[in-house]
Each structure stands twice: as structure tokens, then as C-alpha cells.
A = this chain, B = another copy of it.
Amino acid sequence: MTKTVDDLEKKIGKVPGVFKKLSETDPDLHQMILKLDHYIWDDGALSSKTKKLIAIAIATSMRDQHAIKAQMAGAKNLGVTKDEVEEALRVAYLLAGMPAYVNGKVIEEEIM
């Protein structure tokens, strides 16, 4: 079945613009990645919501501005609360240090 970016945005909230453009420049790769993303983001042993919190914490630990923004932008749609994000960021603080936490907090203040 053909997967669309809209389907994925319903699931994870926000898809980076550069990825959307791939649907025109390389529809085969675009479709492969969409299917893979759908498959991994689906509710399973963990809910999509828990996976989103994991993704936010990873992006924060890696101090990746683009990734933190993309992950947080989709969080509310999945029912993630600001308190839950805060606690996920605190785990990032333990495992990756205060500056990782600061990277996450600065974007959390803007977005959530």
C-alpha cells in the first residue's frame, strides 16, 4: 500500500521539509523510507507516544537542533505533555550532561 507523508504526519506529527521534497526527486526512495518509518513508529510493544518521548530524548542527547525541533513539533499531536517532555529531558541530562538538557529546553520553551 502506498504510504503518504500525510499518513506519517498523523502518526508522528511533523516531517522535515527536505524529506517531503524527496517525493518528487526520488519517489522510490521516498516510499521505502515512508514504509520503514510507518512500520517503526506504529503502536507495538511500545506506543507511538512513548516512542516519540524516546526520540525527543535521543535528539536532545545528540544536541541536534534540527532533530529536537522536528521531534518536539510532532509531540503534542500524539498527546505528549510538557511535563512528560521535561522528564524525558532529565534522563538526557543524566546520560548526556547539562548542556544536552539545555539544548532540549531552549527548543521546548519555543515549541511546547
Chain A positions within 8 Å of B, measured between CB atoms, are 16, 18-19, 28-29, 32-33, 35-37, 39-40, 44-46, 50-51, 53-55, 57-59, 61-64, 66-67, 70, 81, 83-84, 86-88, 90-103, 105-106, 109
30 contacts between A and B (CB under 8 A): A16-B102, A19-B98, A40-B91, A44-B83, A45-B83, A46-B53, A46-B87, A50-B53, A54-B57, A54-B88, A54-B92, A58-B61, A58-B91, A58-B95, A59-B95, A59-B99, A62-B62, A62-B63, A63-B63, A63-B66, A64-B100, A64-B103, A66-B99, A66-B102, A66-B103, A67-B95, A70-B102, A93-B97, A94-B97, A96-B97
Interface of A is mostly: helix
A70 to B100, CA, bound (A): 12
Are A19 and B102 closer than 8 Å at their CB atoms? yes
